[in-house]
Amino acid sequence: MNPYIAYCGLDCEVCQARIATVNHDDALRQTVAKEWSELNGVTITPEMIHCEGCRMDGVKTVYCDSLCPIRQCALGKCMETCGACDAMETCPKVGAILQNNAEALGNLKGTNK
């Protein structure tokens, strides 16, 4: 499995937070913080935007590191990703992502090009 694919199937390689982190791009950090604040209805500051990827070594956002229930569950079950889990098709945790994101589902199933 491509190491940039998160446990939930999202592609960290195209995540703006990761791009800002690896390029040390503070202007992009500001843009991402503003967008994520509006999207989530909480205050997210540019200083919080440090993440190298869900399954990559290195820094992660606090949410991705410790709060995301999908990552915590998959780590606890020693799954490579949720795609390796027998419960994937019926799991409400990863289902919250997969029901709206066919690309993430394809990443987990290995059916994307």
Q: How far is the CB of 83 from ligand SF4 (least distance, A)?
A: 8
Collapsed DSSP state (helix, strand, coil) of residue 11: strand
Please select the residue that binds ligand SF4; options are 9, 33, 44, 53, rule is CB under 6 A: 53
Our finding on whether 29 is near ligand SF4 (CB under 6 A) is: no
* Long-range Cβ contacts of 54-63 (<8 Å, 24+ apart): 54/6, 54/7, 54/8, 54/10, 54/12, 55/3, 55/4, 55/5, 55/6, 55/7, 55/12, 55/81, 56/3, 56/4, 56/12, 59/21, 61/17
Q: Which of 73, 97, 104, 105 binds ligand SF4 (CB under 6 A)?
A: 73
d(C-alpha 24, C-alpha 67), whole Å: 24
Answer for which of 5, 9, 12, 107 binds ligand SF4 (CB under 6 A) is 12
Selected binder of ligand SF4 within 44, 74, 97, 105 (CB under 6 A): 74
Q: Which positions touch ligand SF4 (CB under 6 A)?
A: 6, 10, 12, 15, 17-18, 51, 53-54, 60-61, 64, 70, 73-74, 77, 79, 82, 85, 87-88, 91, 93-94
